[in-house]
Amino acid sequence: MAENKTQPTEVDPVDFINAVEHPTRRADAQTLDALFRRVTGWQPKMWGPTIIGYGSYSYTYESGRSGEFLATGFSPRKANLSLYIMPGYADFQSVLDRLGKYKIGKSCLYINKLADVDLDVVEEIVKAGLEDLGQRWPVSPS
């Protein structure tokens, strides 16, 4: 079975954030790093070249595929901030209704800039996502 493409790396997340070119995106990433550290109580770890993850979880699907992935995290991409909530946002519509401007994917929340959203609601989403994930798979701190 193929391994996940996105694996933990030894890159320092703070160095990665400090190297983000756009000043607003870099400041937003610093704010998100502080928020994720506070909410999770965990230290960040880079996953692949651009994702900052907090904690991890091990899974085995009915198909037999198994692996490990970040429990929650974000990526300060050029186009937007991508927040990763596993296993997804399906049950969070009532919370998302209070967030502000965003777009959504299966397990990604896309935000143009933090000024567009309510950070208290972001915190609530991260907590709810971790609780939801923990009911499905064992979550480990980082």
In a domain, 1, yes or no: no
In a domain, 6, yes or no: no
What average pLDDT does this structure show over 110-122? 97
Find the CATH number of the domain harbouring 118.
Answer: 3.90.1150.200
- pLDDT for 59 equals 87
In a domain, 94, yes or no: yes
In a domain, 115, yes or no: yes
- pLDDT for 115 equals 98
Split into its structural domains, the chain has a count of 1
- pLDDT for 107 equals 84
Distance (Å, whole) CA 140 – CA 115:
31
Residue 66 has pLDDT above 70, yes or no: yes
In a domain, 101, yes or no: yes
Distance (Å, whole) CA 122 – CA 101:
12
Q: Supply the range of the domain harboring residue 46.
A: 13-132
Residue 51 has pLDDT above 80, yes or no: yes
Residue 1 has pLDDT above 60, yes or no: no
In a domain, 3, yes or no: no
In a domain, 97, yes or no: yes
In a domain, 85, yes or no: yes
∠ Cα 17 110 136 (to 5°): 95
Under the banding of pLDDT at 50, 70 and 90, the label for residue 142 is: very high
Distance (Å, whole) CA 49 – CA 11:
8
Distance (Å, whole) CA 96 – CA 122:
9
